[in-house]
């Protein structure tokens, strides 16, 4: 129905990048980018909301399994998938968000697309790191981890989006 | 009935969201670091080979350093061996060596193929499993013999160890040369230091003092180096010290590791069970 093959490749590519590259980073405790969220962020705009949720569930569950995080990737990614249409509606003009296509710079404009990435990635990372530390004791550390890792993730998602949409026409 | 279906249809997204989110958080709330290690063990059946490939490439860059450490270690052991030979009667020495494979500890070497250090619950994946004689609860030591973690679960070809940089890791340590001990854990902030609490106020730890394991812990043999005291302060009611310890093992550059099995562990555990 939709472009199953490109999205299949995107799912596998983001998962492999996360497992074999970003999970192995040992630069700093604050740098832990969760780049696999690019898959959910780039799902087509017209995809039914329930399917977006299931997409989030699939990528979150795979990450939980390979990172050994027991549920927090799923929780964070499903929250992101749930909020995605609402954030889009807030950021875009009404008719823009209803139309079809892949979320991208060409489709939404530079500023809106960057805001879209930043808002959703920050929400995702905040929930992930908060659940991971599960204590108010390291609040400052959790906030710092969210911001540093989130910024890195937004950058990488931007790159992935550029690569992904360069091969596809933006409107499906 | 029709109205019910209509209602469910109108809220199905929210319903689905709440269900998945609830299930995920429920699973996380009931998970222990053992559950997490088991998940990793499962996924390593597939990803382990690729991790092994990449770590093989990374390994070439640390070969020089590892070689130096090994040579240092051999030099120290040779020195000790020479000492034993000189001191003891050669018959006595032969008798010692006879029992070496029945001693209290069994050693296996392995390689760390995947090691996270940027989360609050970190695990190390090792390239040896049940097939190579690795069993859960073995201590993991770095190539130069410092404390690194302990094995939580293993599959046939891989094992997953709880890293010392895991907030649920616990060990007991003491200041070398004294009998004052405390309990060691990681607070999730700095990758080079762990915290020792409940160290007696009479211990008077000084920066630079060596900290070693006590042997009270089920996993680690006695006198395994843990690190050196970096700073120490008395707690609020002045009953015990809280000590920051700089780890002896470099957790960000783990290559080869030594696994130690305590042969008496089963017996100890069955004794300690109520």
Choose, out of A19, A22, A68, A73, the residue to mutate when testing the contact with B (most B CBs < 10 Å).
A68
Say if the Cβ atoms of B118 and A28 lie within 8 Å: yes
Better pLDDT: B219 or A130: A130
Say if the Cβ atoms of A32 and B118 lie within 8 Å: yes
State the SS3 of chain B.
CHHHHHHHHHCHHHHHHHHHHHHHHHHHHCCCHHHHHHHHHHHHHHHHHHHHHHHHHHHHHHHHHHHHHHHHHHHHHHHHHHHHHHHCCHHHHHHHHHCHHHCCEEEEEEEEEEECCCCCEEEEEECCCHHHCCCCCCEEEECCCCEEEEEEEECCCCEEEEEEEECCCCEEEEECCCCCEEEEECCCCCCCEEEEEEEECCCCCCCCCEEEECCCCCCCCCCCEEEEEEEEEECCCCCEEEEEEEECCCHHHCCEEEEEEECCHHHHHHHHCC
Say if the Cβ atoms of B24 and A74 lie within 8 Å: yes
Better pLDDT: A59 or B75: A59
Name the phi and psi angles at A82, rounded to 5: -70, -40
Give A172's pLDDT tier (boundaries 50, 70, 90).
very low
Say if the Cβ atoms of B121 and A82 lie within 8 Å: no
Place of tokens 């990488």: A156
Say if the Cβ atoms of A65 and B39 lie within 8 Å: yes
Helix axes B12-29, B2-10, angle to 10 degrees: 70
Q: Tell me the torsion sign for CA atoms B178, B106, B195, B216.
A: negative
The dotted CATH code for B105-274 is 2.40.10.340
pLDDT at B45: 81
Give A80's pLDDT tier (boundaries 50, 70, 90).
very high
Return the CA Rg of chain B. Answer: 23
- pLDDT, chain B, mean: 83
How far is the C-alpha of A159 from the C-alpha of B104, rounded, in Å?
55
> Which domains does chain A carry?
4-166 (1.10.1760)
How far is the C-alpha of A137 from the C-alpha of B177, rounded, in Å?
34
- Minimal CA separation from A11 to chain B, in Å: 16
With 80 as the cut, is the pLDDT of residue A11 above it?
Answer: yes
This prediction's pTM: 0.74
Nearest CA in chain A to B22: A75
Contact list in A for residue B15 (CB cut-off 8 A) is none
pLDDT digits (tens, 9 = 90+) for B9-54: 778 888 889 999 999 988 888 888 788 888 888 888 888 888 888 8
Global ipTM:
0.82
Domain boundary assignment for chain B: 105-274
Contact list in A for residue B115 (CB cut-off 8 A) is 24, 26
DSSP A18-78: HHHTGGG--S-TT----GGGHHHHTS-TTS-HHHHHHHHHHHHHHHHHHHT-TTHHHHHHH
Query: Which residues neighbour B127 within 8 Å (Cβ) at sequence distance 6 or greater?
Result: B48, B52, B55, B110, B111, B112, B113, B157, B158
With 50 as the cut, is the pLDDT of residue B65 above it?
Answer: yes
With 80 as the cut, is the pLDDT of residue B201 above it?
Answer: yes
Contact list in A for residue B42 (CB cut-off 8 A) is 65
């Amino acid at each position: 129905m939709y472009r199953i093959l490109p999205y299949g490749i995107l799912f596998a590519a983001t998962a492999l990048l996360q497992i074999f590259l970003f999970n192995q980073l040992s630069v700093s405790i604050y740098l832990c980018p969760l780049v696999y969220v690019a898959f959910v962020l780039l799902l087509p705009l017209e995809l039914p909301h329930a399917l977006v949720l299931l997409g989030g569930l699939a990528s979150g569950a795979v990450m939980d399994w390979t990172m050994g995080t027991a549920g927090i990737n799923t929780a964070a990614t499903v929250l992101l998938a749930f909020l995605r249409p609402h954030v889009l509606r807030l950021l875009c003009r009404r008719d823009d968000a209803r139309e079809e296509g892949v979320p991208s710079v060409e489709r939404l404009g530079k500023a809106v697309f960057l805001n879209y990435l930043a808002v959703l990635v920050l929400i995702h990372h905040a929930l992930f790191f908060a659940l991971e530390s599960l204590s108010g004791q390291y609040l400052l550390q959790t906030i710092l981890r969210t911001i540093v890792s989130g910024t890195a993730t937004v950058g990488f998602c931007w790159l992935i989006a550029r690569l992904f949409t360069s091969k596809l026409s933006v409107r499906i | 009935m029709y109205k019910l279906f209509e209602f469910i249809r109108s809220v199905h997204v929210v319903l689905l969201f709440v269900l998945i989110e609830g299930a995920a958080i429920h699973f996380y709330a009931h998970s222990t670091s053992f559950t997490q290690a088991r998940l990793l063990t499962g996924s390593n059946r597939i990803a382990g080979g690729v991790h092994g490939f990449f770590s093989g490439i990374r390994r070439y860059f640390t070969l020089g350093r590892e070689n130096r450490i090994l040579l240092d270690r051999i030099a120290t052991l040779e020195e000790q061996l020479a000492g034993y030979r000189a001191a003891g009667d050669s018959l006595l020495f032969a008798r010692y060596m006879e029992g070496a494979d029945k001693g209290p500890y069994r050693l296996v070497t392995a390689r760390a193929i995947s090691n996270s250090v940027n989360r609050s619950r970190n695990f190390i994946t090792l390239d040896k499993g049940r097939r190579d004689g690795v069993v859960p609860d073995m201590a993991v030591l770095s190539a130069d013999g410092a404390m690194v973690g302990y094995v939580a679960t293993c599959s046939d070809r891989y094992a997953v160890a709880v890293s010392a940089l895991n907030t649920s890791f616990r060990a007991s340590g003491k200041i070398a040369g004294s009998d004052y001990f405390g309990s060691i854990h990681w607070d999730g902030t700095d990758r080079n230091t762990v915290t020792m609490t409940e160290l007696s106020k009479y211990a008077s730890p000084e920066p630079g003092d060596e900290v070693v394991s006590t042997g009270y812990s089920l996993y680690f043999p006695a006198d395994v180096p843990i690190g050196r005291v970096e700073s120490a302060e008395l707690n609020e009611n002045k009953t015990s010290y809280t000590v920051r310890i700089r780890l002896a093992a470099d957790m960000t550059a783990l290559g080869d590791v030594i696994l130690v099995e305590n042969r008496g562990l089963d017996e100890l555990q069955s004794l300690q069970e109520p």
